[in-house]
Amino acid sequence: MFNGTPFSTRAAALTTTIAAALCLLILLITTDIGTSQAAGSHASSGAVPQPSAAVGYQRAKSILLKKVIKPKSLAAGDDLIAFRMKRPLAAKTKIHVHEDREAVITVRERSWFFWVDDDPKAQFEHATRYVLISQRTGKVKTVTRNWWPEIKGKAPWFEYAAYWKKSNWAYSTLTPPATTSRAPNIRTAKASITRDTALRIAASTTECAVLIDGSGDKKAGFPDDVDGMEKVMGTTFGYTTKKLTPPNNKKADFEKAVNDLIADGCKDVLLFISGHGSKESVEMGEGATYSPKELKDLIDKNPTVGFKVVVQSCKSGSWITPLGEGPLITITSTDSDKPSYSADPDGKDDPNPGDTGSEFTSGLIEDLAAIPGDPALLQRVQNCVLAGKSILVCKLQIAWESALAKDEDAKAGNENPQKKEK
């Protein structure tokens, strides 16, 4: 007995109470463990590396600068412009290369695309870089191509305004050229026109010129080239001229213009060709090219005509050997290996600042136009004509010398104008 209660009864009650307490304790412990495991599960899931966020434009630009352009490594004069797209290119987008339709780059995954023009003043062809940066991983793919890119049938940065628009640039060492650049300095000195005209008539009354802009690229300077040459040939010298511009600038247009002038009696013909090109090739109309072999065939069909040829194009010196002895004089804006250059923008050491069009041709036009107003130059022309040469050959010889002296890129060794006389 314990306080009047049988001991066995009290022991049974205590056992029941202890058992209930143990059950409650086990339940609490189990619940706590479960809660802790769940919490631990959530905490550990936060520590598991998640896929990185998509690479945005600013990060892609940073990758471009760090891994591709490396601005601190650029030496003085290493000018370039890196162009950007407003949004990434989708997977399977095809990037075509102008003038090389077989060279197609297929975008493997959604990527930022940058085009790096490593020689912005140079006409084409010249080396450029196509850069793709994966939007998923930031991985970089760079390939070198010699022409500008075309996406969905369009060249995003081909037109003058688009090329020099700063918002289209991811990076540049240059600033856009002034939009108020002056036209080529074509002067007409009235006091000397009579004498120059007399010289011209004494040599020939059948002088003509065909001037063709094969590419229509304003930023490269080709429209200014043919406009300036038309003024000096037609207005200053009084030649019958035919100027061909897009879309009437194909091979058929060019050869028809030449043949028509010859049929009308032209015996002394300047052929001025300005456009993007490569070795033994120049653009002549959309998606088409013209070669020195084709030009030689045209010249050979007209053996009684005195042809003078000027080619403003990259690697245009490669035309000299194939043309052989056909032209009385052949002038090219560079040699067979180097590109040619636009006159804009001017460098700090440009001896002919403010010129427009192509760097070499702008000087050639200015110096041809200067001849009628300079008695000393007119005397040189007269002596040359008396020695039996064509008056235009004589003028081109003189203008070539001074144009070479004021060619900023020739002085820097970037282009190398050539001249060959028969």
Residue 240 neighbours by CB distance under 10 Å: 16
Please compute the mean of the pLDDT values over residues 113-128 and round it to a whole number: 95
Q: Is 201 helix (H, G, I), strand (E, B) or coil?
A: helix
Q: What percentage of the chain carries pLDDT values higher than 90?
A: 73
327 part of a folded domain? yes
For residue 198, the surrounding DSSP H or E stretch is helix 190-203
For residue 7, the surrounding DSSP H or E stretch is helix 7-47
Rounded to 5°, angle at Cα 337 from 335 and 338: 75
| 327 pLDDT above the threshold of 90 | yes
Would you state the torsion angle of the CA atoms of residues 256, 261, 262, 263, taken in this order, to the nearest 10 degrees? Answer: 80
Average pLDDT, the chain: 85
Place of tokens 């609490």: 28
pLDDT band at 223 (very low <50, low <70, confident <90, very high): very high
Same domain, 206 and 106: no
Please compute the mean of the pLDDT values over residues 147-173 and round it to a whole number: 93
Same domain, 166 and 272: no
Same domain, 217 and 130: no
Q: How far apart are the first and last CA of the chain?
A: 144
202 part of a folded domain? yes
85 part of a folded domain? yes
The mean-pLDDT minimum among 12-16, 152-156, 345-349 falls in 12-16
320 part of a folded domain? yes
Q: Fill in the DSSP letter of residue 190.
A: H
Identify the domain containing residue 321 by its residue range: 190-421
| 313 pLDDT above the threshold of 50 | yes
Domain count, the chain: 2
Same domain, 229 and 350: yes
361 part of a folded domain? yes
Given 142, 172, 202, the domain boundary residue is 172
40 part of a folded domain? no
Please compute the mean of the pLDDT values over residues 286-315 and round it to a whole number: 96
Q: Say what the pLDDT of residue 372 is.
A: 93
275 part of a folded domain? yes
Contact indicator for 283, 275 with CB cutoff of 8 Å: yes
Highest-pLDDT range among 41-45, 185-189, 233-237: 233-237
Same domain, 224 and 146: no
Please compute the mean of the pLDDT values over residues 103-132 and round it to a whole number: 95
Place of tokens 């412990």: 29
pLDDT band at 397 (very low <50, low <70, confident <90, very high): very high
| 28 pLDDT above the threshold of 50 | no
Q: Say what the pLDDT of residue 347 is.
A: 84
Please compute the mean of the pLDDT values over residues 240-256 and round it to a whole number: 97
Same domain, 260 and 146: no
Same domain, 204 and 346: yes
Given 128, 144, 172, the domain boundary residue is 172
| 416 pLDDT above the threshold of 70 | yes
Same domain, 219 and 313: yes
| 18 pLDDT above the threshold of 60 | no
10 part of a folded domain? no
Q: Fill in the DSSP letter of residue 48.
A: S
Same domain, 229 and 314: yes
What pTM, to 2 d.p., does this model score?
Answer: 0.78
How is residue 259 written in tokens? 């043949």
